[in-house]
Amino acid sequence: MFANFKRILGFAFKDFSRNKGISLATTFILAVAILLVTWLFFFHGMSDYLIGQIKSKIDITAYFKEDAAEENILAVKDEILKLSPDIKNVEYVSKDQALKDFNQKHGSSSVLSRALDEVGENPFLPSLNITTTGDPSLYEQISKVLETSDFSKFIEKVDFSEKKDTIEKVFSITSKVSAFVLILGAVLVLISVLVVFSAIKLAIENSKEEISTMRIVGADDWFVRGPFLIQGAIYGIVAFLFCILVSGLCAYFLSSKIGVVLPGFDMFNYFLTNFWIFVLIQLGFGIAVGVISSFIAVKRYLEV
């Protein structure tokens, strides 16, 4: 059995080297497809980071009546945190803290400063800023609980209705980005399969005499198919070696440029952190496409 495998391996490498033009062209196109799939993974990482940053800034605020006691507000905070594990943070902002934050943010605006002076007292209400990691329905649920619970008598208003459209748009974009990545990935897989399929068909055409000889001497179908299946795997492995090197170099040199557009996202660190995932994606994709395409092509030839 080992001897047969060794012969099959020898035939595969012989065909790969004999058809240099076809092999290089197929490997190159497969490498391009792997790189595109890799960049989809990079894009997914960047979009997840960006959407995460946007989500972290989305919140709803419950404003309490001016005479609401702090212990009642903190009691509401505790109740909100019990609603769902997807509630990330509930921040209590007192009247004094709200005024301080306003002055820090708008202290340079003389118009707003004069308006605040004319009011003559602290116009801000104590509040709870609520952020979650869940979907928009969770914000709506929190809003309804606040407006209908026993604590509603302490609450002046909840601004969910004002932010509802923005929250829903952000989560809608998230789902559309994920769908786009899946569809584009499927298209790339299809293109790669067709390219490798065509290359293996050409290799089979160039090996007709050898295949006929194998059949005459009684070789079974798997002995005939084997070299082409391994040849498909070789395409994938060679393409992978090229792609993993190019991916690392691109991530290293583009990291600073991406960081300007997307502050806080380190592309090279993302590559290193997910290195084995990149290896699995590229190697798995390359070998799977190469072997599956070869199997389809050879099976079709043998049925003729």
As a whole number, mean pLDDT of residues 80-107 equals 78
**pLDDT (0 to 100) of residue 242:** 92
CA angle at 113 for the pair 107 and 119, rounded to the nearest 5°:
140
Instruction: Say whether pLDDT at 168 is over 70.
Output: no
On average, the pLDDT of the chain sits at 76
Contacts of 119 (CB under 8 A, 6+ apart): none
Greater pLDDT, 162 or 230 = 230
Look up residue 2 and give its two tokens: 């080992």
What the chain holds in terms of domains, given with CATH numbers, is: 2-54+171-303 (no CATH), 57-161 (3.30.70.3040)
As a whole number, mean pLDDT of residues 89-102 equals 81
Contact 243/34 with Cβ under 8 angstroms? yes
**pLDDT (0 to 100) of residue 172:** 73
Under the banding of pLDDT at 50, 70 and 90, the label for residue 116 is low
Contacts of 137 (CB under 8 A, 6+ apart): none
Instruction: Say whether pLDDT at 245 is over 90.
Output: yes
Instruction: Say whether pLDDT at 86 is over 70.
Output: yes
Instruction: Say whether pLDDT at 34 is over 50.
Output: yes
**pLDDT (0 to 100) of residue 107:** 59
Contacts of 49 (CB under 8 A, 6+ apart): 262, 264, 265
Contact 95/125 with Cβ under 8 angstroms? yes
As a whole number, mean pLDDT of residues 283-290 equals 85
Greater pLDDT, 131 or 220 = 131
Contacts of 12 (CB under 8 A, 6+ apart): 226, 227, 228, 230, 231, 234
CA angle at 289 for the pair 283 and 294, rounded to the nearest 5°:
125
**pLDDT (0 to 100) of residue 273:** 92
Quote the CA–CA distance of 99 and 126 in Å, as a whole number: 10
* Beta-sheet pairing, 60-64 with 87-93: unpaired
As a whole number, mean pLDDT of residues 285-289 equals 85
As a whole number, mean pLDDT of residues 161-187 equals 70
**pLDDT (0 to 100) of residue 304:** 41
As a whole number, mean pLDDT of residues 161-175 equals 67
**pLDDT (0 to 100) of residue 60:** 80
Q: Give the three-class secondary structure for 92.
A: strand
As a whole number, mean pLDDT of residues 93-121 equals 69
**pLDDT (0 to 100) of residue 263:** 82
10 - beta bridge partners? none
As a whole number, mean pLDDT of residues 43-55 equals 77
Q: Which of 32-46, 47-61, 137-151, 210-224 is the most confident on average?
A: 32-46
Instruction: Say whether pLDDT at 98 is over 50.
Output: yes
Condensed to tens digits (0 to 9), the pLDDT of residues 186-207 reads: 787 777 777 777 766 776 666 6
Instruction: Say whether pLDDT at 224 is over 70.
Output: no
* Buried b or exposed e, range 32-57, using 16+ CB within 10 angstroms: bbbbbbbebbbebbbbeebbeeebee
The percentage of the chain sitting over the pLDDT mark of 90, rounded to a whole number, equals: 9
**pLDDT (0 to 100) of residue 275:** 93
Quote the CA–CA distance of 138 and 257 in Å, as a whole number: 36
**pLDDT (0 to 100) of residue 73:** 84
